[in-house]
Amino acid sequence: MSAVWPKIPFKAWEETCTALHLYAEIVGKYRLAQSPWVNHSWHAAFYVNARGFTTSLIPDATGIEIVFDLIDSTVIGAAADGRKGEIPLGPMSVAEFRTRFCELISRLGGTPEFNGKPNEVPDQVPFKDDRQLRPYDAAAVERFFHALVAINRVFLRFRTGFVGKVSPVHLFWGAFDLAVTRFSGRPAPLHPGGVPGLPDEVAREAYSHQVSSAGFWPGDSNTDFPAFYSYAYPAPRGFAEAPVAPEGAYFDQKLGEFLLPYEVVQTADDPEATLMAFLESTYRAAADLGGWDRAALECPMGQPLRPRPLTQQE
């Protein structure tokens, strides 16, 4: 069965999306507080699974996993000792979700202690003080989940064409974006910091090395439509003017990165090929203009049951 590429117009579910984002921030803050630091904050991210997204196993108590089941509208907590609990997702406030989540972690034997303010969002109201009733459009959330599954499939395949350092395909709860990053292997200039809602030391560690990064977000207050993005750090000279594919992709001067509206992919005759064209062409722009050793870093796309053929040098 081919992947499903549903329509997910941001404005139609903006309030629900904001609520889901903030709930993910709460769970992400818990994971962050309990997990040893891994380069580029990879220890804090979530991963798409068959029901929504998961934290994977968090090293708290006997081991705790939190899953956002976006089909059954439930947050599920499970401990390695067999304990389990759930939080139904529906209309509620962020403060109420926080209270229920802390109770869930306690029932699982964990430590519900974490930073109490969101990151990378405007109007950073502490979770416990955010008592505005938030709606929950379960059908819209499920459509978003199916889009994530389709996108994740393409990102995973794109990741296989690189033998250099490359990130997992993961969902960062700060910006609520699914991302994959390739590294040239060279150190980058010190990041200037100043990312709204993100400590400078975190941004500088994340961008310690030269990258070409691509991802997807469902929309936000600045970009009110779902879109794919691609950027380079540091951005090489001429990057903004580089020709990229497919038609419909463009460089956003304010954001400093290439954008491709999700609708261009969703309505294409071959959505996967259309998205892959964007990923490949924007990466090549970053790598060629940035002087990456592409011959040493790239390999054929991975195939099931086929080990990557080694070069003579290897």
What is the band of 311 on the pLDDT scale with cuts at 50, 70, 90? Answer: low
What does the alpha-carbon distance between residue 38 and residue 46 come to, in Å, rounded to a whole number? Answer: 14
Answer with the one of 98, 129, 160 that is the final residue of a domain: 129
State how beta strands 64-69 and 227-233 pair. Answer: unpaired
Q: How confident is the model at residue 312 (pLDDT cuts 50, 70, 90)?
A: low
Residues 124 and 28 in one domain: yes
Residue 234's domain comprises 139-297
Whether residues 185 and 228 share a domain: the answer is: yes
- Give the whole-angstrom CA distance, residue 121 versus residue 224: 14
pLDDT digits 0-9 by tens, 56-114: 999 999 999 999 999 999 999 999 999 999 999 999 999 999 999 999 999 999 999 99
In this predicted model, what pLDDT tens digit does every residue of 191-217 receive, in sequence order? 999 888 889 999 999 999 999 999 999
Whether residue 62 is found in the same domain as residue 157: no
Q: Is the pLDDT of residue 313 over 70?
A: no
Q: Provide the H-helix boundaries in 92-168.
A: 94-107, 138-159
Residues with Cβ < 8 Å from 163, sequence gap 6 or more? 296, 297, 298, 299, 308
Helix (H) / strand (E) containing 283: helix 271-289
pLDDT in tens, 12-26: 999 999 999 999 999
Residue entry with tokens 């001429």:
238
* pLDDT, position 123: 82
- Domain membership of residue 311 (yes or no) is no
Query: Can you give the pTM of this predicted structure?
Result: 0.96
Rounded Cα gap, residues 50 and 38, in angstroms: 25
Percent of the residues in the chain that have a pLDDT greater than 90, as a whole number: 93
Distance CA 201, CA 115 (A): 16
